Structure 1
Amino acid sequence: MGDFELLGRIGQGGMGQVFLGESLGGEPAAVKVIKPSVVDSESRQRFAQEIEVLKTIWGPRIAAFLGADAEAEQPWLATEYVDGPDLAKHVKTHGPLPSVLAAALGAVLAEALSAVHAQGLLHRDLKPANVLMGPNGPKIIDFGLAAFTDSNVSLTAPHQVVGTPICMAPEQAAGVKPLTAAVDVYALGALLLFAVTGHYPHEAATPYMVFHLVTDPGTAPDLSGVPKELEPLLAGMLAHDAAGRPSLTEVVQGCRSVIEAQGMKIAQARRRLTAHTAGQRHRESPSDGLPTVAWPAPTHDTPAPAPETGPAEPAAPVPAYAPPVSPATLVEDAPGAPAVPPAHDGSPGVVPAEPRNRPDGDRPDGARRARPAPDRRPPAAPPRPKAAAPSLRHSVQARRTAERLRTAYAAKAPF
């Protein structure tokens, strides 16, 4: 698509599919492609509007625009690829967020939405599935329903409602126009309610029933399970009357108050939110069976323990004349080098380095070193020629891990 090579499908919906792509320069991207069966003049116009919206807005919490072509045979749009699950998947997998982390999330997203509103835009479809928990913090995606607040052009027929009912403001669900910034405040409140409880303000068996509950002034949102410190803020954000909701600036201040009441600064809470979501992602067992493999650490770092995937491979012996090597460095025996016996607990044996030019058997204190028992192997490998240098290649364990990765990816490839 354009200059982007499509590497694999990562999502799909009624209108199209999303692929992991790569630019000519190797930049990863999420490439949305409209299905041929739904390509018509209206879908092209709506897609072109989404492209114009993404060209207009920017910020660290918005997935960046990378390229698009609304006039192509198959219209496509490329945005920044965020390597992380959406908020809905994260909560369903790991459970609700602690209140202080939910407050940090609220402050981050409210500030991002303020920047969107400053450009005269509304998101209109903010929901947990449209917030990606990336390695550098949350990011907002999918501005397909975004609209210019001062625009007189509408792509929807009269009384036609578009959006997601479970996070939709009452006036948006009722088809009221024009909409104001308060619709995104309500949606953010619904998103935060889900983040701390796992449920939405109004839930029912069908979308029609949800619409009825949302638009009914006599039906209050379900705030059960909300931490007490967040209840006043969420109750205000989910008010039925748009005029009764706080502004996004007030939402940020309310979130800061929750965080500071627990003796923490907003920047610290934001870092904890990112560390929390990223840490749980690395600890989880991938549902697709793909093993999690860490990159080798630098030699001065403390290596992380290896995953328990089976008996450990015997480590390569380190020659006495070699410099210290971190266990995280991938080193294999030179041809013909003897193996080191594993310890009694199953971990690789350790070869003590002996200084050169010392008579065999001598110790620094002049005492003789005890000979090994007949039924035990010598603790050190026989000396190798001084001119020989250890060959640096991938270890047996690394090769096996790579093979498991290749096998797992091949089995789960979508096409």
Structure 2
Amino acid sequence: MQITPLNPEDPRSLGDFDLLGRIGQGGMGQVFLGESPGGEPAAVKVIKPSVVDSESRRRFAQEIEILKTIWGPRLAAFLGADAEAEQPWLATEYVAGPDLARHVETHGPLPSALTAALGAVLAEALSAVHTQDLLHRDLKPANVLLGPNGPKIIDFGLAAFTESSVSLTAPHQVVGTPVCMAPEQAAGEKPLTPAVDVYALGAVLLFAATGHYPHQAATPYMVFHLVTDPGTAPDLSGVPADLVPLLTDMLAHRAQDRPPLAEVVGRCRSVVEAHGLKIAQARRRLTALTARQHSPAVPPPAPAPPPAVAFADLSTATAPAAREPAPPADAVVPAPTLPAPPSPSTPPVLPVPPSVAGTPDPRVSFSAPHGGTPEGAHGHPPAPARPVKPLPHRAEPSRTPRHSAQARRTAERIRAAYAAGAPFAPSRTA
């Protein structure tokens, strides 16, 4: 749903709701995005000052009273209103998602199974409205919001009590959306029955599946003529074959020929199940599809920095380019091949790194460099064995350890092997 900044002349608050932006507008008023003191988002409808009169206030007050009586998980909830304010306002639940009209215009028609799932959801919601002795009377794609938790019906501004003489319109006045209006409603017949909402739902599903309405023409007056003419059949071109029988019945010219909403729910379920899905699966797919297509683009995450390279802290360490990084913590590393420990009767001989010229650093346990050999290799005879005396302890300089866990484990194994029979205590690692 597109939200634009407030205009300078727009109110900044209405009742307890702070207004944050503009959602949309219609002939009677403007709809704002509002926020309650507790942070609850709301759609706040305000009557335009230019049309505020006693009649518009009466109609607005009746809409408020009707909204107070309806409830259901697929209906936008009533949050508050004031028909007597200088600028009459009405707040309902805010649904963060596009309407069906915008979705189809942007992404094309829905697949057959998802159209049927949408039909089952909306038919069930309308059935709950009818149970409360109400009619919506203005169901259309723009009044079906595809929210993150599923479709919801909004805008009961034309809703009326069934079998009631109370009307929101003057005698012989027809208000509504012609392309989704039942023939008896377009003809001004009263009282209206739940069949008008069945017809409107059929028009909504036809639009969802094809992108067009049952009757279309250049002007609203021409549409009224086509809708009320019993000899003009609705345009079902492009409707998937499995939806044709249902939509034909829902868009029947005579009210008594249309199926009740309970039957509509059952037939929509049959279409879904014919596609190998359960109705709950199809509903979830519908919600996931619309949420994915209308979610804001998320930039790809920044590439992770290269892992820190840990080196064995040896006095003989070469330049960084020649050092070999330690394997990752979860890598499978074969156990190192260790030289046989010296016998108790023979003093141990440690490999002496060339760079220290026979002066071992007591901080470090030496091992042969990667790919290297102990002293005496390269064709030279081994040096005579000589005992190694521990040097006086020397304080370690303060520095940050750079050993990886794997490097420490390998060094400990090497130390243990060499220290098994050595006459000196193993040195500490850095």
Amino acid across the alignment from 1:38: V
Paired residue for 2:143? 130
Deviations 1:292-344 (A, max 9, x none): 348xxxxxxxxxx43xxxxx6xxxxxxxxxxxxxxxxxxxxxxxxxxxxxxxx
Deviations 1:356-384 (A, max 9, x none): 878854767467469xxxxxxxxxxxx98
Structure 2 unpaired stretches of 5+: 1-13, 318-322, 327-332, 337-366, 372-397, 403-430
Deviations 1:131-156 (A, max 9, x none): 00000000000000000013212232
Distance 1:280 1:384 in 2: 53
Q: Does 2:66 match 1:42?
A: no
Distance 1:269 1:182 in 2: 26
Give the superposition deviation at 1:73: 0.5
Paired residue for 2:243? 230
**Identity rate of aligned residues, in percent?**
78
1:220 corresponds to which of 227, 233, 249: 233
Paired residue for 1:292? 297
Q: Say if 1:277 and 1:367 are closer, same or farther in 2 by CA, change over 3 A.
A: farther
1:149 corresponds to which of 144, 162, 183: 162
Structure 1 unpaired stretches of 5+: 283-290, 295-304, 307-311, 313-346, 371-382, 388-415
Distance 1:66 1:184 in 2: 25
Distance 2:110 2:214 in 1: 17
Paired residue for 2:278? 265
Q: Say if 1:349 and 1:31 are closer, same or farther in 2 by CA, change over 3 A.
A: same
Distance 2:168 2:307 in 1: 73
Q: Say if 1:357 and 1:7 are closer, same or farther in 2 by CA, change over 3 A.
A: same
User: Where do residues 266-281 of structure 1 align in structure 2 (5 Å cutoff)?
Assistant: 266-281=279-294
Distance 1:216 1:116 in 2: 29
Distance 2:278 2:399 in 1: 58
1:87 corresponds to which of 83, 91, 100: 100
Amino acid across the alignment from 1:25: G
Q: Say if 1:259 and 1:356 are closer, same or farther in 2 by CA, change over 3 A.
A: farther
Give the superposition deviation at 1:50: 1.0
1:60 corresponds to which of 47, 64, 73: 73
Q: Say if 1:96 and 1:354 are closer, same or farther in 2 by CA, change over 3 A.
A: same
Paired residue for 1:161? 174
Distance 2:204 2:223 in 1: 16
Give the superposition deviation at 1:53: 1.2
Q: Does 2:307 match 1:351?
A: yes
1:207 corresponds to which of 220, 224, 248: 220
TM-score where L is the length of structure 2: 0.70
User: Where do residues 12-51 of structure 1 align in structure 2 (5 Å cutoff)?
Assistant: 12-51=25-64
Equivalent residue pairs, number = 318
Q: Does 2:118 match 1:105?
A: yes
Paired residue for 2:390? none
Paired residue for 2:91? 78
Distance 2:23 2:370 in 1: 62
Distance 1:204 1:212 in 2: 10
Give the superposition deviation at 1:355: 7.7
Give the superposition deviation at 1:26: 0.5
- State the structure with more CA Rg: 2
Distance 1:156 1:47 in 2: 12
CA RMSD in angstroms comes to 2.2
Deviations 1:382-414 (A, max 9, x none): x98469xxxxxxxxxxxxxxxxxxxxxxxxxxx
Paired residue for 1:342? none
Amino acid across the alignment from 1:154: S
Paired residue for 1:196? 209
Q: Say if 1:160 and 1:384 are closer, same or farther in 2 by CA, change over 3 A.
A: farther
SS of the residue aligned with 1:30?
strand
Q: Say if 1:91 and 1:350 are closer, same or farther in 2 by CA, change over 3 A.
A: same
Deviations 1:191-229 (A, max 9, x none): 000000000000000000000000000000000000000
Residues 272 and 282 of structure 2 are in contact (CA less than 8 Å); yes or no, is this contact kept in structure 1?
Answer: yes
Distance 1:138 1:356 in 2: 61
TM-score where L is the length of structure 1: 0.73
Distance 1:102 1:228 in 2: 13
Paired residue for 2:261? 248
Distance 1:277 1:81 in 2: 17
Q: Does 2:153 match 1:140?
A: yes
Distance 1:358 1:177 in 2: 96
Deviations 1:135-193 (A, max 9, x none): 00000000000000132122322211010000000000000000000000000000000
Distance 2:42 2:188 in 1: 35
Residues 163 and 192 of structure 2 are in contact (CA less than 8 Å); yes or no, is this contact kept in structure 1?
Answer: no
Amino acid across the alignment from 1:351: P
Distance 1:259 1:368 in 2: 68
Q: Say if 1:94 and 1:386 are closer, same or farther in 2 by CA, change over 3 A.
A: same
Q: Which moved more, 1:13-22 or 1:183-192?
A: 13-22
Amino acid across the alignment from 2:95: V
Amino acid across the alignment from 1:3: D
Amino acid across the alignment from 1:80: E
